[in-house]
Structure 1
Amino acid sequence: MLKIRLKRFGRKKQPSYRIIVIDSRKPRDGRAIEEIGFHNPITNKSQINLERVRKRINEGAKPTETVQQIINQLEKEN
């Protein structure tokens, strides 16, 4: 099953996340099938390719709760 989830990168105490599509059995920082955006919790900036998200959800991918909140926030802004 595919998941749309966060992949952590950045320095210690300065997290930044990529929003990725990955098999649910793979580790958090494993090789992604596709990168569809990023989220920086320190500056509260996010960018997501919503077309790709919708396509992946239609194919059966499930977003995590955190990613779903980020998607909902971006859809409200647009």
Structure 2
Amino acid sequence: MLRLRLKKIGKKLQPIYQLVIADSKTKRNGKDIEKVGYYNPLKKIFKINETSIKQWVIKGAKPTKTVNNLLKKYKLFLNS
């Protein structure tokens, strides 16, 4: 099953996360299928490619709880 989840790429005490499409069985920082955005919690920056995310959701990708909460927080709802 495909998941829309966060992949950590930042340094120690400076987290930055990429929003990626990945198989649910891969590790957190394992191989991803596509990068669709990023999130910087320290600077409160959340940028995504909405069209790409919507295409993957139509194909069956589901967001994790954390990603779903981020989408709600920044008012980017997936209508599908």
- Greater share of residues in helix: 1
**SS of the counterpart of 1:39?**
strand
Q: Which runs of 5+ in 1 are unaligned?
A: none
Of all paired residues, the percent bearing the same amino acid is 37
Taking structure 1 as the reference length, the TM-score comes to: 0.90
Aligned to 1:71: 71
Q: How many residues align?
A: 76
- Does the 8 Å CA contact 1:36/1:53 hold for their aligned counterparts? yes
Question: Map of 1:2-13 to 2, 5 A cutoff?
Answer: 2-13=2-13
Report which of the two has the higher share of strand: 1
2: CA distance, partners of 1:35 / 1:74: 20
> Following TM superposition, by how much is the alpha carbon of 1:45 offset from its aligned partner in structure 2, in angstroms?
0.3
Kindly state the Cα deviation for residue 37 of structure 1 after the two structures are TM-superposed. Answer: 0.1
Cα RMSD (Å) of the superposition?
1.2
* Structure 1 segments of 4+ aligned residues over 4 angstroms from their partners: none
For the 8 Å contact 1:48–1:71, the answer to whether it is kept is no
Cα separation, 2, equivalents of 1:30 and 1:62: 17
1:65 Cα deviation (Å)?
1.3
How far is 1:31 from its partner?
Answer: 1.2
Give the alignment of 1:1-78 within 5 angstroms.
Answer: 1-72=1-72, 73-75=74-76
Provide the secondary structure at the position in 2 that maps to 1:42: coil
